[in-house]
């Protein structure tokens, strides 16, 4: 295995661990009646870190959230590696995180936070499975 390959694999593992850790934080916040906006923020970031891990497998990346989502759609959804529903879930989480983090006088509701948390748990699990079973060796 080349040094570059090792670094990529290590970075994928690191990003997936960040995704799982952030997801655990979202669950703890939800279970302890944390603010819905904070739950959505952590749940979204778990999804975001998972997508960053995926993008390493296709040698892509960007610093903008919208760019990460667009690359995910282009390289994984449009190519049939993930269903369109998973993309819709990511877009919804992004939109609700934007509302919770930046929009004044708009609130994220607890049921929305629960929906995004549940979706995020499935999302991270699906990405983890894909990386273990279907991603080309790096």
d(C-alpha 94, C-alpha 136), whole Å: 28
Domains of the chain: 3-133 (1.20.120.330)
Q: What is this structure's pTM?
A: 0.90
Helix (H, G, I), strand (E, B) or coil at 95: helix
Residue 92 pLDDT > 90: yes
**What average pLDDT does this structure show over 105-128?**
93
Residue 117: its pLDDT value, please?
Answer: 97
**What average pLDDT does this structure show over 54-67?**
92
What is the CA angle 5-127-89, rounded to 5? 140
**What average pLDDT does this structure show over 57-76?**
93
Which structure tokens are listed for 79?
A: 């190519």
Q: Using the 8-state DSSP alphabet, how is residue 79 labeled?
A: T
């Amino acid at each position: 295995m080349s040094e570059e390959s090792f670094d990529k694999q290590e970075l994928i593992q690191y990003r997936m661990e960040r995704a799982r850790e952030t997801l655990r934080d979202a669950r703890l916040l939800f279970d302890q009646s944390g603010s819905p906006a904070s739950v959505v923020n952590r749940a979204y970031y778990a999804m975001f870190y998972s997508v960053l891990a995926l993008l390493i497998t296709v040698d892509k990346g960007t610093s903008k959230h919208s760019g990460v989502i667009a690359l995910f759609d282009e390289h994984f959804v449009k190519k049939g590696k993930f269903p369109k529903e998973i993309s819709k879930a990511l877009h919804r989480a992004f939109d609700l995180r934007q509302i919770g983090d930046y929009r004044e006088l708009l609130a994220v509701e607890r049921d929305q936070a629960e929906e995004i948390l549940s979706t995020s748990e499935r999302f991270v699990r699906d990405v983890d499975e894909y990386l273990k079973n279907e991603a080309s060796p790096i």
